[in-house]
Amino acid sequence: DTGVSQNPRHKITKRGQNVTFRCDPISEHNRLYWYRQTLGQGPEFLTYFQNEAQLEKSRLLSDRFSAERPKGSFSTLEIQRTEQGDSAMYLCASRSPTVLSTDTQYFGPGTRLTVL
């Protein structure tokens, strides 16, 4: 169990550029979640996958955001035409393959995005 990993850890970009983040979940975890955390706030749910299927998306996930999990393993989160308001920590979490909402979500260290 190597934990959830996220890359890059930090990303600085200019407004209008596209960025992509990667999340590698704990192996055999079939559920993968993305959250966004802005300064002084708790994480906010963005979307989640069960295997390769994206089953829920938050209203926070505008058309400029897209997430994929093509083979049911790692996931990518892409932000197109970044805006300064996108500056935040993007957190990924994974969970074991049961149907219980009580199961623990294990979080990665996050990718901190700064949009200049």
Partner 1 sequence: AQSVTQPDIHITVSEGASLELRCNYSYGATPYLFWYVQSPGQGLQLLLKYFSGDTLVQGIKGFEAEFKRSQSSFNLRKPSVHWSDAAEYFCAVAPIYNQGGKLIFGQGTELSVKP
State yes or no: residue 93 binds partner 1 (CB under 8 A).
yes
CA 62 to chain centre: 14
Q: How many residues bind partner 1 (CB under 8 A)?
A: 30
- For partner 1, the closer of residues 80 and 109 by Cβ is 109
Min. distance of Cβ 53 from partner 1 in angstroms? Answer: 11
- For partner 1, the closer of residues 11 and 31 by Cβ is 31
Q: Are 72 and 30 within 8 A, CB to CB?
A: yes
State yes or no: residue 107 binds partner 1 (CB under 8 A).
yes
Closest CA to 111 of 3, 10, 5: 10
Member of 11, 23, 25, 35 binding partner 1 (CB under 8 A): 35
Q: Are 64 and 14 within 8 A, CB to CB?
A: no
Instruction: Report phi then psi at 11, rounded to 5.
Output: -145, 125
- For partner 1, the closer of residues 14 and 99 by Cβ is 99
Judged on CB neighbours under 10 Å (0-12, 13-18, 19+), 32 is: buried
Q: Would you tell me which residues interact with partner 1 (CB under 8 A)? A: 3-4, 31, 33, 35, 40-45, 48, 50, 55-56, 91, 93, 95, 99-110
